Structure 1
Amino acid sequence: MENVQNEKLGQPHSDADIIVQANIILIDVEDFGLHQRPHPAHDPGVEVHYHYIVKVDQSQNTFTSPFVTGADLMAVSGKDSARFRLIQLLKGPGHQNHTRVIALDETVDLRGFGIERFVTEAIAITFYIDQQDYQTQEPCLTVRQILVDFAGVDPSEKTLADKQNCSHEYKNLDEAICLHQGQTFTLFDNAPTQVS
């Protein structure tokens, strides 16, 4: 799929917000979606090529085909698809806004009615501390953040440990842990155990 990223096209000049250059018609997908207009038809006797200007986050990108995949759109965003998802913004009847998640393997027809643009959104990471689930959109947290902000415990009284490998205790409170979905931790008491 041919894509020209971050192409500076200027503002469309014509009444229909279309730029025609050498048998190429540039369609600003966001503008057509915002104003709920159908994409223009052309004279069937003239060979033309449509190029679609699509906004992903704040970046304008030009695609030469009306059919793009979620992976194509995610690629131009520069975001990691393991940490972000793609959201399509649509303008519905009565100017009501709608959103929907676009899967990486899903094909989007840019000629569809009401498409405005696409944005990326951080995926919440769920992790567990002693069977209690917590969510964050931050990919990495310090041991201190996990203990204080999530578990709500005093780091001088508790130690965080990896539940899959209980022999690994996190003693350095400033150590960053890059989380993965479903990661599990446990807490150990720092107080000495009394033997009777």
Structure 2
Amino acid sequence: KMVQFIARGFPRSFNEADISELLGHFGINETKFSKRRGKISAILNVRNPAIADSVLSRLHQLQIGAARLTVEHYNRRTEQDDDALPATKTVRESAQELSNYVRALHAVHPVDFNHPPPPYLKYRYPKPTRDILDNICATLESVPKFYVQVMHLMNRMNLPPPFTNKDLKPREGTRKDAAQQTDLTMIEESL
């Protein structure tokens, strides 16, 4: 049974004739060559399996000048996979692929108060009118959880608390943005 090896790492100054001559000293007479990225690789055919182990042990890591040979068992399919460089994607293709993945990921999960809305959703709301504000106020009165969430949001945004009259001036010594809805003194004073 014939055994095949691939030898790489020959000095750049070697041509195919030089490589064939070198390999002939090791008893290898059948050689095919492939050139990839300016480097020559030799595919060695050894007909005697008993000699194959000897060839591998003698040639692998052989120092030739500044170059060092590497010899491995040859697998045609592996070599073809090595030759096929992975296709590079453009930034736009990668971004589109990521966007599609994120959409599919968010499509699985329900959007509720426990999950943020998907990043690809964009909303356009109409400008507030008196009717819209009245509807919001009615909902605030009838849904306590919504009221608490609005209070939390106002607190996070450092908006002035709605517990005091707008016309009242802030107390001296306190900055306007320092007033938080969680400040007990201001809440008690407003009641």
Q: TM-score, with normalisation over the residues of structure 1?
A: 0.29
Larger Rg, first or second structure (1 or 2):
2
Greater helix percent: which structure?
Answer: 2
Q: TM-score, with normalisation over the residues of structure 2?
A: 0.29
